[in-house]
Amino acid sequence: MSLSLTTVGELQVEARRIREHAEKPENYYWPRPGVRAPGDDPRYVFRSGNYTFVFSLTVTSSAILRHLVVSTSKAGMTPQPVIVWTAADLLGFTGATSKAPTGAVTAPAEDWLVHESATGLVVQQPYPAPMPLPTNRKALRQLPRSERSQKAAKRRAGGS
């Protein structure tokens, strides 16, 4: 299945909507028990034809990652890579240099981490934002010890 011109325009609009939501620090995804996964939250999801796109900025213990999963509703079918790369580009992934005259991205950038999952293709890329530190005690306990120590030192020094 290739995307039609109508779907490409729709993808651009939906990518903008999802990206604007996901890039707000209060909407970063912190994976931990009890937190709703982005794929279960329509503010991070776009569906078109047989494709489902889920995008978030995911906070790990050492970085923030752009995280895109593109899956299909047909069993055994893998998303077309050009559709995945183009969606990633529209969602703010940087560095793609292989673009067709139509604007389609024909190859991922070198720093895009790409792997196939049971449901489709996953693309990740480090996001160049400072690591947000949680302010509540429960979330703070879930940070690695080095980050907790940095946060405590900041508080003792009168920082935020």
Q: Where are the domains of the chain?
A: 5-129, 132-160
Burial class (CB within 10 angstroms; exposed 0-12, middle 13-18, buried 19+) of 41: middle
Cα radius of gyration rounded to whole Å, the chain: 18
What is the model's pLDDT at position 20? 96
Does residue 131 contact residue 151 with C-beta atoms inside 8 Å? Answer: no
Q: Which two tokens stand for residue 130?
A: 């400072």
Q: Give pTM, 2 decimals.
A: 0.77
* pLDDT tens by residue, 50-77: 899 999 999 988 889 999 999 988 877 8
Provide the 10 A C-beta neighbour count for residue 7. 16
Provide the 10 A C-beta neighbour count for residue 121. 23
